[in-house]
Amino acid sequence: MKKYKQLIVIAFCCLSVQFSYAEKPKIAATASMFSDMAKRIVGDKMDVELIVPVGGDPHLYKPTSKDAKLVANADLILKNGLTFEGWLSELIDNSGTKASVITITKGIAPIKSLVYDSPDPHAWMDAQNGLKYIENIKNGIVALDPDNTAFYEKNYAKYRKEVADLDFYILEQISTIPEAQRILITSHDAFQYYGKRYDVQLESVLGTSTDADVQTDDMINLVKVIRKSKVPAIFAETTINPKQMEQIAKDNGVVIGGTLYSDSIGQEGSDGDSYIKMLKANTDKIVAGLTGKLSDESTATTGTEGGFNWLSIVIVTLLLGAMLFMFRKLK
């Protein structure tokens, strides 16, 4: 009889653990920066799921049936807003979810896109804005699970200090770049908030969305900026094909100063696999590239390849001239 009682107790404990695990609140975040922020605050009290996978492009993302199920089972949905997730409203409607949806850019003054009549969504690129992001996320988490408020507030306070320290670090590092060299040229216009906060001039091939078409006028202006400013490096981005930037670098005799994180954090184990690390890695690459102190790990494309095109033209012209001269002499 005693043996049966022990088995019943063990079975009950197993069921209790399984039940408590199944009842853990679920958060769905649209992009990896936001899921990372949420994980730092909730610890092991909630499950945080990601809609757009790490390395994916939220501008171009097409939701799947798996995403609909994820959203349907969520208790809280974190969205950036500011036109970042144009596909989200339809996904929420189709999923039938009862989750609370919070816009985590609430309280942030948006910057208007330089190209389109819409706000620039990349507010997280300013670490000071990052403080507002994590505050909004914390408030949504506390509203969902008020019984663990003290736990969330403690994690939030610790995380807040880290983000504030990051903001100071970026300000300090960017100040080491001579003002005339603080020109950041990237694949798409994701760094306006970064530039405004840290005093960096921004130029890009595409607008604020990666689904925009490259405009001829933009390319001409970009080349003018490179040649006039003599900027030593331009930068690719992790979520965008680098070929276009590599070609611009070759044609203008500059280098690719590195690949920056913009719409996603990096893969696990990379130098940008968290929100804090992505902004720090970006800053380190920008400072190295614009001061001419690129590391060996930089994906630099040397300008000599760009010079090769002109050298080829000169050689071919000389050869054609020599052949024409010989032909006339023989004739």
pLDDT at 323: 63
CA 82 from centre of chain: 15
Structural tokens at position 157: 């306070």
Beta pairing partners, 47 = 26
Helix axes 32-42, 127-144, angle to 10 degrees: 60
Tokens found for residue 114: 């330089």
Query: Closest Cα partner for 161 from 276, 33, 278?
Result: 276
Tokens of 208: 């604020």
**pTM summary value:** 0.79
Q: Give residue 297's pLDDT.
A: 47
Delineate the domains of the chain, giving CATH numbers in brackets.
2-171 (3.40.50.1980), 178-306 (3.40.50.1980)
Q: How far apart are CA 257 and CA 80, in angstroms?
A: 29
Residue 19 pLDDT: 47
Q: In the numeric block, which tokens belong to residue 154? A: 């403690």
Three-state DSSP state, 78: strand
Question: For every one of its 331 residues, what pLDDT tens digit does the chain have, with 9 covering 90 and above?
Answer: 555 555 555 555 555 545 444 589 999 999 999 999 999 999 999 999 999 999 999 988 999 999 999 999 999 999 999 999 999 999 999 999 999 999 999 999 999 877 677 899 999 999 999 999 999 999 999 999 999 999 999 999 999 999 999 999 999 999 999 999 999 998 767 899 999 999 999 887 654 344 444 556 666 777 777 887 788 898 988 767 778 788 888 888 888 989 999 999 999 999 999 999 999 999 999 999 999 887 654 544 444 333 334 334 444 455 565 566 565 655 5
Reading the block at residue 182, the tokens are 């603080």
Neighbour count for residue 101 (Cβ, 10 Å)? 17
- Predicted confidence at residue 191, as pLDDT, reads 94
Q: Residue 219 in contact with residue 205, Cβ under 8 Å?
A: yes
Position 301 scores a pLDDT of 45
Position 5 scores a pLDDT of 53
Instruction: Please state, in angstroms and as integers, the Cα–Cα distance from residue 92 to each residue in 60, 63, 68, 76, following that order.
Output: 17, 10, 7, 12
Measured between alpha carbons, how far is 144 from 28 in angstroms, rounded to an integer?
Answer: 13
